[in-house]
Amino acid sequence: MNVVIVGCGIVGAAIAYQLSEVKGLNITVFDQKPPAQASTGAALGVLMGVISHKIKGKAWQMRQSSIQRYETLIPELEALTGRKIPYNRQGILMLLSENPEQPLESGVEVLSDWEQLRDVRKLQGWELQVWENQQLQQYCPQINHPNIIGAVYSPQDRQLNPTALTLALVDAAQRRGVNFKFGVAVQSLEKADTENLAEVKKCTFIETTEGKFPADWLVVAAGLGSTLLTTQLVNIRPVLGQALYLSLGHILGNPNFQPVITGNDVHIVPMGGGDYWVGATVQFPDEENQILPKQDLLASVRKQAIAFIPDLASAKILRTWSGLRPRPEGRPAPVIDKLPGFSNVLLATGHYRNGVLLAPATASAICEMINPVNAI
């Protein structure tokens, strides 16, 4: 059975790796660029699962299953490939404010709201800790902001390097026989002839810059490139994000406790040795559908990080970067479903800001659609 995957960001690579465990599949992955480009290459890899406000339904189940899978997936890939995947197991710390005029998150965050979520998570088998300011200062003395009253600490959430993970997934999948074709653009899909226009169609081949390839199943995981192949039935729009790489020369706070620190949608991600990723902006296209990086937005992200941790003011900016996130138009993210009107075209796209977090759950969902017996 020929399975074609279009797109080799973290989602496409995760799907290829999981499907490689299924016997009898001939899997080919196409991408017109090298792996881990586009939104994957720009992501900070912050896995906000337990600390999210999702508590039921598919949105929570996908987060929960992905967080669980990462605990086994990372060592599994490292053992298989010999690659080291940077994986921060020290959790996520979300800062809380008492000032209704300047909340650190959308809406007024109060400790009692988080205490309710903490109780829900406990019943679900997960841990959240609600800290008052005294406890926050004890663990993270580098934080100094007049409106902060405490924090929520999620010890079971994680952060990883999305590029390193994607390359490891590709390496592992190749070792299991998956064929990757980079620098090859997929131009269109070819449908089987049918006299009834209302009949569900089947994709038989894909047309690429290297010719035709047969497809018993086609998985579209191309992010912003998905719209071209979905015959406009699914519209994916870009949302730009920018980030900075800062070097301070020394580690902030307790060197033995270096979680991701987040507040007001700004993430401060420790990279080791006194280096930190800081991001990310959220910028939508203008009226002319143009989307160019705005330096003032990036400056405001850096300013917010410094407001939380004043020592960051002396950090050097080693580089800045940006990427476009794929956001579905008119429907919730992500889009994991059959393409309407087709029996064998699957969509795994439009993850917006949660592609890294939801990659394992997305791979399991696609595997279930193609081969239910082998889904994890």
Neighbours of 234 (CB within 10 A): 21
- The answer to whether 244 touches 29, Cβ cutoff 8 Å, is no
| Structural domain containing residue 49 | 1-88+157-235+329-376
Q: Which CATH number covers residue 69?
A: 3.50.50.60
- Asked whether residue 269 is assigned to any structural domain, the reply reads no
- Give me the number of domains the chain comprises: 1
- Asked whether residue 143 is assigned to any structural domain, the reply reads no
- Asked whether residue 122 is assigned to any structural domain, the reply reads no
- Asked whether residue 323 is assigned to any structural domain, the reply reads no
- The answer to whether 70 touches 47, Cβ cutoff 8 Å, is yes
What lies within 8 Å, CB to CB, of 113 at 6+ separation is none
Query: Which residue pairs from 107-115 have beta carbons closer than 8 angstroms and sit at least 24 positions apart in sequence?
Result: 111/149, 111/150, 114/152
Radius of gyration of the chain (CA): 22
- Asked whether residue 104 is assigned to any structural domain, the reply reads no
Q: Which two tokens stand for residue 333?
A: 């993210």
Neighbours of 102 (CB within 10 A): 10
What lies within 8 Å, CB to CB, of 255 at 6+ separation is none
- Asked whether residue 77 is assigned to any structural domain, the reply reads yes
Edge-first strand listing for the sheet containing 87-88: 46-47, 158-160, 87-88
Per-residue pLDDT of the chain (376 residues; tens, 9 = 90+): 999 999 999 999 999 999 999 999 999 999 999 999 889 999 999 999 999 999 999 999 999 999 999 999 999 999 999 999 999 999 999 999 876 455 444 334 478 889 999 999 999 999 999 999 999 999 999 999 999 999 999 999 999 999 999 999 999 999 999 999 999 999 988 887 655 555 688 999 999 999 999 999 999 999 988 877 776 668 899 999 999 999 999 999 999 999 999 999 999 999 999 999 999 999 999 877 789 899 999 999 999 999 999 999 999 999 999 999 999 988 899 999 999 889 999 999 999 999 999 999 999 999 999 987 654 4
- The answer to whether 192 touches 166, Cβ cutoff 8 Å, is no
- Asked whether residue 49 is assigned to any structural domain, the reply reads yes
- Asked whether residue 189 is assigned to any structural domain, the reply reads yes
Q: Which two tokens stand for residue 369?
A: 């659609």
> Cα–Cα distance between 327 and 352 in angstroms, integer?
5
Neighbours of 18 (CB within 10 A): 25
> Cα–Cα distance between 76 and 10 in angstroms, integer?
16
DSSP for 149-190, written as a single string: EEEEEETT-EEE-HHHHHHHHHHHHHHTT-EEEET--EEEEE
What lies within 8 Å, CB to CB, of 97 at 6+ separation is 103, 104, 105, 109, 145, 147, 148, 149, 263
pTM recorded for the entire structure: 0.94
Q: Which two tokens stand for residue 316?
A: 């050097």
Q: Which secondary-structure segment (H or E) carries 228?
A: helix 226-229
